Amino acid sequence: MATQNEFTAQLRRVTAKFFLYTAISIASFCFLLFLLVQLGIFGKMPKEADLKQIKNNTATDIMSVDNKLLGRYYFENRSNASLSDIPAGFINALVSTEDVRFYKHKGVDARSSLRVLFKSVLLFNRSAGGGSTITQQLAKNIYPRKRLGFLTLPVAKMREIIIAKRIEKYYTKNEILELYLNTVSFGENTFGIETASIIFFGKKPAELKMEESALLVGILKANGNYNPRTKPEAALMRRNTVLSQMVKYKHLSAGEADSLKGLPVKLNYRRLTHNEGPAPYLREQLRHEVTEILKDKKKADGTPYNIYSDGLKIYTTVNYTLQVFAEESVKEHMAQLQELFDKQWKGREAWIKDPGLARQQIKQSDAYKELSAAGYSYNDALVAMHEKRQTRVFSWQGDKDTLISPLDSVLYHFKTLQAGVLAMNPFNGDILAWVGGSGYKYFKYDHVKSKRQAGSTFKPIVYAAALESGASPCRFYANDSIVYTAYNNWAPENSDGKYGGFYSMKGALAKSVNTVSVKILMETGIDSVINLARKMGITSQLPSVPSLALGTGGVSLYEMVVAYCSFMNKGRAINPRLIRRIEDSQGRLVYSDPAHLPGDTVMSSETAETILAMLRGTVDRGTAHNLRNFWKFDCELAGKTGTTQEQADGWFIGMNPHLVMGVWVGGGSPVVRFRGYYGQGSFAAMPIFARFHKKIYSDPLYKYMQSSSFNISADINSKLSCADYSETPVETFFEIIKTNDGIGDFIRRIFGKRKENR
CB 502 within 8 A of CB 732: yes
The dihedrals phi and psi of 495, each to the nearest 5 degrees, come to -65, -30
Name which of 157-166, 375-384, 731-740 the model is least confident about. Answer: 731-740
The predicted model gives 4-23 an average pLDDT of 71
Closest CA to 721 of 587, 614, 580: 614
CB 419 within 8 A of CB 450: no
The residues with which 315 forms a beta bridge, in sequence order, are 63, 581
More confident residue, 19 or 411: 411
Residues 6+ apart with CB under 8 A from 337: 417, 665, 678, 684
> Which pLDDT score, from 0 to 100, does residue 161 have?
83
Cα–Cα distances in angstroms (integers) from residue 395 to residues 80, 327, 411, 671, in the given order:
35, 15, 14, 21
The DSSP string of 35-99 is HHHHTTTTSPPPPHHHHHT----BPEEEE-TTS-EEEEE-SSEE----GGGS-HHHHHHHHHHH-
**CA–CA separation, 9 and 212 (whole Å):** 61
Res. 1: pLDDT tops 90: no
Split at pLDDT 50, 70, 90, the class of 127 is very low
Split at pLDDT 50, 70, 90, the class of 736 is low
More confident residue, 494 or 729: 494
Q: Is 663 left (phi over 0), alpha (psi -120 to 50) or beta?
A: beta
Split at pLDDT 50, 70, 90, the class of 757 is very low
Dump pLDDT digits (tens) for 481-521: 889 999 999 999 998 889 999 999 999 999 999 999 999 99
| Angle at alpha carbon of residue 16, lines to 13 and 17, rounded to 5° | 85
Dump pLDDT digits (tens) for 414-462: 889 999 999 999 999 999 999 999 988 888 889 999 999 999 999 999 9
Residues 6+ apart with CB under 8 A from 624: 618, 637, 639, 640, 641, 652, 654, 682, 686
For domain 419-750, give the CATH number.
Answer: 3.40.710.10
Its CATH class, for the domain covering 76-273, is: mainly alpha
- Model's pTM, two decimal places? 0.80
Res. 754: pLDDT tops 50: no
Name which of 72-81, 361-370, 608-617, 735-744 the model is least confident about. Answer: 735-744
Name which of 240-244, 332-336, 383-387 the model is least confident about. Answer: 383-387
More confident residue, 360 or 401: 401
The dihedrals phi and psi of 366, each to the nearest 5 degrees, come to -65, -40
Q: Is 669 helix (H, G, I), strand (E, B) or coil?
A: coil
DSSP E strands: which ranges in 619-674?
A: 638-643, 649-656, 659-667
More confident residue, 48 or 489: 489
Dump pLDDT digits (tens) for 273-288: 777 788 999 999 999 9
The residues with which 31 forms a beta bridge, in sequence order, are none
| Angle at alpha carbon of residue 645, lines to 642 and 646, rounded to 5° | 110
More confident residue, 143 or 279: 279
Domain residue limits, the chain: 1-39, 76-273, 419-750
Supply the mean pLDDT for the chain.
Answer: 86
Chain mean position to CA 466: 39
Question: Percentage of residues in the chain with pLDDT exceeding 70?
Answer: 86
**CA–CA separation, 321 and 29 (whole Å):** 62
> Which pLDDT score, from 0 to 100, does residue 706 have?
95
Q: Is 715 left (phi over 0), alpha (psi -120 to 50) or beta?
A: alpha
> Which pLDDT score, from 0 to 100, does residue 119 have?
56
Dump pLDDT digits (tens) for 335-377: 999 999 888 888 777 665 566 666 777 887 888 888 888 888 8
> Which pLDDT score, from 0 to 100, does residue 270 have?
78
More confident residue, 727 or 124: 727
Q: Is 295 helix (H, G, I), strand (E, B) or coil?
A: coil
Q: Which runs of consecutive H residues, i.e. helices, occur in 274-405?
A: 280-294, 320-344, 355-364, 366-373, 378-384
**Cα-only R_g, the chain:** 35
**CA–CA separation, 510 and 512 (whole Å):** 6
- Number of DSSP helices (H) and strands (E) in the chain, helices first: 29, 19
More confident residue, 735 or 466: 466
Dump pLDDT digits (tens) for 89-118: 999 999 999 989 899 888 887 776 666 555
